[in-house]
Amino acid sequence: MTPVLSTSHNGSRKLVLEDILDLRAYEKVRVAEKARVLELKRKRRVELGTILTVLFENRDTMWIQIQEMLRAEKVLTDEGVYEELNAYNPLIPEPGQLSCTVFIEITTEAAMHEWLPKLVGIERSIVLVLSDGTEVHPVTDAQHDAALTREDITAAVHYIHFNFTPEQVATFAGGPVQLRCIHSNYLEVIELADSTVGELLSDLQANS
């Protein structure tokens, strides 16, 4: 069983209450749905250097995140569901937009002490470079920015968006596309796989 995710009347891709399964219904499909979204994330996850991972989010990745949060917290009320929708809906891209979660993948205390102060501003240093040389720079989420940004140390997780013009979407579709980090303490670049470019076009194209 694949859940049917509704779309609101204004064409928004944001999730609504009717998209969310109650705990019993989700438990019946959880194994299959986690496997499905795991495969989706495989095409949407990009390792940029040794400690940075960029995950391009969409409705499905946010849907599974909300369902897992509700399950973990045993939320049974509509009010609780709305709290999760309000938290995660901003991470779902609208047409012409890509939305990312950026992870600094460090686990030891020593590595955190070394890297988190060095990577202040990392969330503004992730750039998409199109085949004609155009650079698409990130826009940070104001709410998360206020909670995560510090002058002397960064967080291990950041949320960013990229906004594209129609012309940039067309150029993106033609590939190749590079993902770069231009932070002075972490200069890295990778070319996106064709499968990733194709997957992300579903976010960018208006009729998807």
Provide the token pair at 131: 């085949």
With 0.85 as the threshold, say if the pTM is over it. Answer: yes
pLDDT given for residue 4 in this prediction? 44
What does the H/E/C string look like for 37-52?
HHHHHHHHEEEECCCE
pLDDT of 141: 75
In whole angstroms, give the CA distance from residue 191 to residue 178: 4
SS3 for 207? coil
Phi, psi of 127 (to 5 degrees): -130, 140
Within 10 Å of residue 133's Cβ, how many Cβ atoms? 7
pLDDT tens, position by position, for the chain (208 residues)?
A: 444 444 443 456 899 999 999 999 999 999 999 999 999 999 999 999 999 999 999 999 999 999 999 999 999 999 999 999 999 999 999 999 999 999 999 989 999 999 999 999 999 999 999 999 999 999 987 766 666 666 788 999 999 999 999 999 999 999 899 999 999 999 999 999 999 999 999 999 966 4
At a CB cut-off of 8 Å and minimum separation 6, what does 86 contact? none
How many CB atoms neighbour CB 52 within 10 A? 24
Q: 197: which 2 tokens? A: 């470019």
| Per-domain residue ranges of the chain | 17-204
- 89 exposed, middle or buried (CB, 10 Å; 0-12, 13-18, 19+)? middle
pLDDT of residue 145: 66
Q: At what angle do helices 23-44 and 194-204 cross, to 10 degrees?
A: 120
Contact 91, 57 (CB under 8 A): yes
Return the closest-CA partner of residue 85 out of 5, 2, 203, 11. Answer: 5
Calculate ∠ Cα 12-16-21, nearest 5°. Answer: 140
Cβ within 8 Å of residue 29, ≥6 positions away: 1, 2, 3, 21
pLDDT for position 152: 86
Q: What pLDDT shows up at residue 151?
A: 74
Q: Please give the pLDDT value at position 74.
A: 95
